[in-house]
Amino acid sequence: MTFEELHDGEIFTDNTQFERNKQCKDCMYQSDGTANTNDYRKCSCLIYQHPEEKPDYVFDNTGKCEDYEKDE
């Protein structure tokens, strides 16, 4: 069975349309300038350093990050 046949009639979403890690946008720990943390939407930051990742509830905006501190 092909992928198209298996999922016939299903509606797919473009996950790039969901804003991830919203609270990280103005957090002081969002980036250290490396490729792993140079964008707040990435799964790593100064607290959750690669290869560790931010918790799912931070990634999908369903909970508050315990380490969040607003960047002044």
Instruction: Tell whether 28 is covered by a domain.
Output: yes
Instruction: Tell whether 7 is covered by a domain.
Output: no
Alpha-carbon span 47 to 58, nearest angstrom: 12
Terminal-to-terminal C-alpha distance of the chain: 55
Instruction: Tell whether 35 is covered by a domain.
Output: yes
Instruction: Tell whether 11 is covered by a domain.
Output: no
Alpha-carbon span 57 to 51, nearest angstrom: 18
Bridge partner list, 70:
27
Cβ neighbour number for residue 54 with a 10 Å cutoff: 20
Domain extent at residue 72 = 17-72
Write down the pTM of the prediction: 0.70
How many domains does the chain divide into? 1
The conformation of residue 1, written as its DSSP 8-state character, comes to -
pLDDT tens digit at each of 72 positions of the chain: 898 899 898 888 777 778 889 999 999 999 878 888 888 889 999 999 989 999 999 999 999 999 999 998
